[in-house]
Amino acid sequence: GAVVSQHPSWVICKSGTSVKIECRSLDFQATTMFWYRQFPKQSLMLMATSNEGSKATYEQGVEKDKFLINHASLTLSTLTVTSAHPEDSSFYICSARPRGVVGPPSYEQYFGPGTRLTVT
Amino acid sequence: AQSVTQLDSQVPVFEEAPVELRCNYSSSVSVYLFWYVQYPNQGLQLLLKYLSGSTLVKGINGFEAEFNKSQTSFHLRKPSVHISDTAEYFCAVTFLGAGGTSYGKLTFGQGTILTVHP
């Protein structure tokens, strides 16, 4: 149980185009999903927190108009990289927090396998 | 500033040898601590977590970690590794706000690639 999928697993796009990445919780409902970015040989950096039915909360330094996040249902969040540039090339990872898990001490997050984005 | 540091980017070890992966954090507030493992082409899987109580935490696959508040460390250990333990390991921290509240935000270390040789 507690499986999170991401689609696509890898994508190559041309500079200036937009790319949408899906994150789905397959066997549970997720009120909160997190989007991370990982550069080669670097740590995962939280980009934004996505709550179902409300606007995403972006971390400092993350352009919300460039990285559009939509969490329209309890099992799906999408990240759209708009007007992609080569510097947006990275590994994007999502995680989902099951519905009903609130506040300390539980922080159950289940991670997707990631999406490799290459912008040429 | 709040940060997480994994001191070793790569750790090679022979099968059945013990291993320790180091993690230190910097914080002026209370923390929750986690270790995740990432196998090739797979998502992150939780190995173990420290929230409160006993400072020695046991996780899956024979791993354990010890929280040392004075040294702000949370090192991961396994007494005897297997080839199948080859993976990348991430230390992660939740820095708690006033009153111990937080919304689950994780700060990750840089990761340590453990390679187990036969």
Per-residue pLDDT tens over the stretch B7-17: 999 999 999 99
Tell me the per-residue pLDDT of B26-71, one tens digit each, with 9 for 90 and over: 988 888 899 999 888 777 888 999 988 899 999 999 999 999 999 9
| pLDDT (0 to 100) of residue A101 | 57
Closest to B93 in 3D by CA, of B22, B11, B5 = B5
**Strand partners for A5:** A24
Which range is least confidently modeled, A23-32, A73-82, B79-88, B100-109?
A: B100-109
Residues of chain B with pLDDT > 90, as a percent, come to 70
DSSP B98: G
Would you tell me which residues 63-92 of chain B have a C-beta closer than 8 angstroms to some C-beta of chain A? 90
| Residue B99 forms contact with A (CB below 8 Å) | no
Q: What is the mean pLDDT of residues A5-24?
A: 96
Contacts of B68 (CB under 8 A, 6+ apart): B55, B74, B75
Q: What Cα–Cα distance (Å) separates residue A64 from each residue in A22, A95, A114, B38, B116?
A: 17, 19, 20, 28, 41
User: Which residues of chain A have a Cβ shorter than 8 Å from any chain B Cβ?
Assistant: 4, 32, 34, 36, 41-46, 49, 93, 95, 97, 103-105, 107-114
- CA–CA separation, B40 vs B76, rounded Å? 20
Q: Which of B105, B110, B112 to mutate to test the interface with A (most CBs of A within 10 A)?
A: B105
- CA–CA separation, A77 vs A5, rounded Å? 11
Q: What distance separates the 2 farthest-apart alpha carbons in chain A?
A: 44
Judge contact between A37 and A17, C-beta under 8 A: no
Q: What letter represents residue B44's amino acid?
A: L
Record: contact A43-B101, CB cut-off 8 A: no
Q: How confident is the model at residue A105 (pLDDT cuts 50, 70, 90)?
A: very low
Record: contact B43-A107, CB cut-off 8 A: no
Contacts of B17 (CB under 8 A, 6+ apart): B80, B81
Q: What distance separates the 2 farthest-apart alpha carbons in chain B?
A: 48
A-chain residues near B109 (CB < 8 A): 43
Record: contact A112-B43, CB cut-off 8 A: yes
| pLDDT (0 to 100) of residue A77 | 94
Using alpha carbons only, how large is chain B's radius of gyration in Å?
Answer: 14
| pLDDT (0 to 100) of residue B103 | 57
A to B CB pairs, distance under 8 Å: 61
What's the mean pLDDT when you consider all of chain A?
89
A111, pLDDT greater than 50: yes
Buried b (16+ CB within 10 A) or exposed e, A57-91: ebeeebeeeebbbebeebbbbbbebeebeeebbbb
B-chain residues near A102 (CB < 8 A): none
Q: What is the mean pLDDT of residues A33-49?
A: 88
Q: How confident is the model at residue A106 (pLDDT cuts 50, 70, 90)?
A: very low
Tell me the per-residue pLDDT of A64-78, one tens digit each, with 9 for 90 and over: 999 999 988 999 999
| Residue B2 forms contact with A (CB below 8 Å) | no
Query: Kindly report the CA angle at A110 between A107 and A115, in degrees rounded to 5?
Result: 135
| pLDDT (0 to 100) of residue B87 | 96
Residue of B43, B52, B103 with shortest CB distance to A105: B52
| pLDDT (0 to 100) of residue A107 | 63
